[in-house]
Amino acid sequence: MVSVTIDGVTVKVKKNTSILEAAKAAAVKVPTLCFLKGINALGACRICLVEVKEGGSGLQAACTLPAAEGMVISTNSKTVQEARQVNLELILSNHDKRCLSCVRNGTCELQTLCEDMGIDDVHYEGANMDRPKDTGSASIVRDPNKCILCRRCVAMCGNIQKIGAVGTTQRGFNTIIEPVFGKSLEDVPCVNCGQCIISCPVGALSERNELTSVWDAIHDETKHVVVQTAPSVRFALGEEFGMPTGEGVTGKMANALRRIGFDKVFDTDFAADLTIVEEAAELIDRVSNGGKLPMITSCSPGWVTYCEHFFPDFLDNLSSCKSPHQMMGAVIKSYYAEQFKIDPKDIFVVSVMPCTAKKYEQEREEMAVNGLRDVDAVLTTRETARMIKQANIDFVNLPEADFDKVLGESSGAGVIFGATGGVMEAALRTVADKLTGENLDDIDYECIRGIAGVKEASLTIAGMDINVAVANGTGNAKKLLESVRDGKKQYHFIEVMGCPGGCVNGGGQPIVSASKRLEFDPRVVRAKSVYSEDVNKQKRKSHLNGEIQMLYDDYLGDENGHLAHELLHTHYHQKAKYK
């Protein structure tokens, strides 16, 4: 421990703690821009400058300056204020300042800094680069004119996700963040996870907007427009309306979507239960009949694309199950259409997802049955919030409402899909009951919960030892699969989610600023709400979902059977790293 004095307050912190972190202990808030906790600490933007009075000298970046015994720091001297203001104005000098039409208007960290630091004019006029937008990706739009070269996206993509789809090219004033050789994101191994978007402090990265097509469908009287909502969306949507992080808004969300004009509002949690029934049957079949092991989950399209690019030797290990929202789309355009005598061609399915990769997944050639797309449009949580605002709905004061029946019932197992480890736990609840032939009470597999990058456990179920592992984020998946490939680890079942923390931290979720991430971890807060809802569910196992049982009895027939495979299963293939 060392003693450091910051703005006259002496605090004790661990040696080499950054001055930025030490300032928190002194109740001092140092502004940042390029810094993102656990991801990026470069000191590149120079917004977090502090003045070292003793124990060093001059202006230094607080995010990279290690605390040492006897340091005396000023965070608010005239020298510091002037330097920060100059640096901020230089960043603004060639920034695209069409803020009112920017997707991040009101949530932009650069905008917030200008307000906090009293910037009412820019004294420097830089050259306007006028670079073209990259709109080739099915999921992500990249606008280099809004980029401030903070490199947060580069650090996330390269250091955390271990993909490296973007990086810095050229030099000096001409520096740009882009894919290699100036290619589009669609032409490099981008997995569409959108972690770059939620890392970006400005509007340089955003999801591809599909609101117009959805509104057009709603206003088309010939279309029967159905919406479905993913498990984790209900624990994040409220944040877009000023509600606390992680607060559940299931009933308000269902009500808002119905008021917007959707003909039916269904719950993707239902399809999560359906996925588990199919996945559990597939796992039991593989274990019992010498199938390809370990079986690896296929619910996360970002992970699946990563596997296709970087680990094609594991493609046969992937579960053949489609992801829940694609299953739901297939069921809506078959079973539901038959039940209510609607022509499937007239049904337009909208998925509300925490995930930008779902936009790419929806367009995959494999995600169709009888020439009809399973899903017609995917909206992120952020897009859905914008739609609710466009409809002039007072979300915070909405009364609660229920999902529509037939495809609206769900179990606690379906809910926990939103958190890393949730798919594994949900599957184990059903697998254990199926193998033992009992309705077991001990169903909380806490050994695979939490945000650790890789979690593993050995379980004994019905006298059988089953080794499982869970990875979240493609960087952690890389570590795990390399250990399996090298023969160092042997598992029966592996869950992988493409985003760190799982879907609760998906690339389409509300963006939590760097300053708020210093105060709390949204992955932890949102996941806590996920498990709270699970505990309060009347049914907590997927195979006990009454509507799921009815679907098999009335329509699908056998679990993992012929019709189930036709509608609910798919295949994947190796991708070239570069086009």
Is 279 an active-site residue?
yes
pLDDT at 578: 46
Which residues lie closer than 8 Å to 213 by C-beta, 6 or more apart?
Answer: 376, 377
Type and span of the H or E element at 221: none
Is 125 an active-site residue?
no
Of 503, 529, 542, 559, the catalytic one is 503
Task: Go through the domains of the chain in sequence order and give each one's CATH number.
Answer: 2-91 (3.10.20.740), 94-207 (3.30.70.20), 212-568 (3.40.50.1780)
pLDDT at 20 over 70: yes
Is 282 an active-site residue?
yes
What mean pLDDT do residues 401-430 have? Answer: 96
Q: Give the tens place of pLDDT for each residue, 111-125.
A: 999 999 999 888 888
Query: Rounded distance, CA 306 to CA 483, Å?
Result: 17
pLDDT at 391 over 80: yes
Collapsing DSSP states into helix, strand and coil, what is residue 404? coil
Of 54, 366, 438, 519, the catalytic one is 366
Q: How does the average pLDDT of the chain come out, rounded?
A: 96
As beta bridge partners, residue 493 has 295, 468
Cis before residue 324, ω within 30 degrees of 0? Answer: no
Of 252, 358, 359, 455, the catalytic one is 358
What mean pLDDT do residues 186-214 have? Answer: 97
What mean pLDDT do residues 29-44 have? Answer: 95
User: Is the pLDDT higher at 49 or at 172?
Assistant: 49
Percent of the chain with pLDDT over 90: 95
DSSP 460-478: EETTEEEEEEEEESHHHHH
Phi, psi dihedral angles at 66 (to 5 degrees)? -80, 140
Tokens representing residue 433 in the block: 């009951």
What mean pLDDT do residues 142-163 have? Answer: 97
Q: Give the tens place of pLDDT for each residue, 219-263.
A: 999 999 999 999 999 999 999 999 999 999 999 999 999 999 999
Is 358 an active-site residue?
yes
Q: Give the tens place of pLDDT for each residue, 301-322.
A: 999 999 999 999 999 999 999 9
- In terms of Cα–Cα distance, which of 8, 34, 6 is closest to 21? 6
pLDDT at 579 over 50: no
**CA 578 distance to own-chain centroid:** 25
Which residues lie closer than 8 Å to 158 by C-beta, 6 or more apart?
Answer: 164, 167
Is 400 an active-site residue?
no
Residues 385, 388, 394, 398, Cα dihedral to 10°: -90
Sheet strands (E) in 95-238? 140-142, 167-169, 176-178, 205-207, 224-229
What mean pLDDT do residues 367-389 have? Answer: 97
Tokens representing residue 264 in the block: 């039916």
Type and span of the H or E element at 457: strand 454-461
Query: Rounded distance, CA 507 to CA 473, Å?
Result: 12
Cβ atoms of 243 and 374 closer than 8 Å: no
Query: Rounded distance, CA 296 to CA 312, Å?
Result: 13
Residues 25, 30, 34, 40, Cα dihedral to 10°: -10
Is 69 an active-site residue?
no
pLDDT at 128: 76
* Number of H-type helices and E-type strands within the chain: 20, 19
Of 279, 425, 495, 559, the catalytic one is 279
Is 299 an active-site residue?
yes
Type and span of the H or E element at 325: helix 324-331
As beta bridge partners, residue 74 has 51
Phi, psi dihedral angles at 54 (to 5 degrees)? -140, 150
Cβ atoms of 179 and 192 closer than 8 Å: no
Alpha helices in 486-545 (DSSP H): 514-517, 522-536
What mean pLDDT do residues 401-428 have? Answer: 96
Collapsing DSSP states into helix, strand and coil, what is residue 12? strand
Q: Give the tens place of pLDDT for each residue, 323-356.
A: 999 999 999 999 999 999 999 999 999 999 999 9
Q: Give the tens place of pLDDT for each residue, 265-303.
A: 999 999 999 999 999 999 999 999 999 999 999 999 999
Cut 0.75: pTM above it: yes
Cβ atoms of 269 and 410 closer than 8 Å: yes
Query: Rounded distance, CA 373 to CA 192, Å?
Result: 20
Query: Rounded distance, CA 337 to CA 392, Å?
Result: 31
Of 239, 278, 361, 409, the catalytic one is 361
pLDDT at 122: 87
Type and span of the H or E element at 1: none
Collapsing DSSP states into helix, strand and coil, what is residue 521? coil
Query: Rounded distance, CA 148 to CA 95, Å?
Result: 7
Type of residue at 548: I
Collapsing DSSP states into helix, strand and coil, what is residue 388? helix
DSSP 241-289: GTPPTT---HHHHHHHHHHHT-SEEEEHHHHHHHHHHHHHHHHHHHHHH
Of 207, 282, 383, 425, the catalytic one is 282
Of 34, 48, 299, 307, the catalytic one is 299
pLDDT at 368: 96
Q: Please, what sign has the CA dihedral across residues 319, 324, 330, 336?
A: positive
Terminal-to-terminal C-alpha distance of the chain: 53
Q: Confidence band (pLDDT; 50, 70, 90) for 551?
A: very high
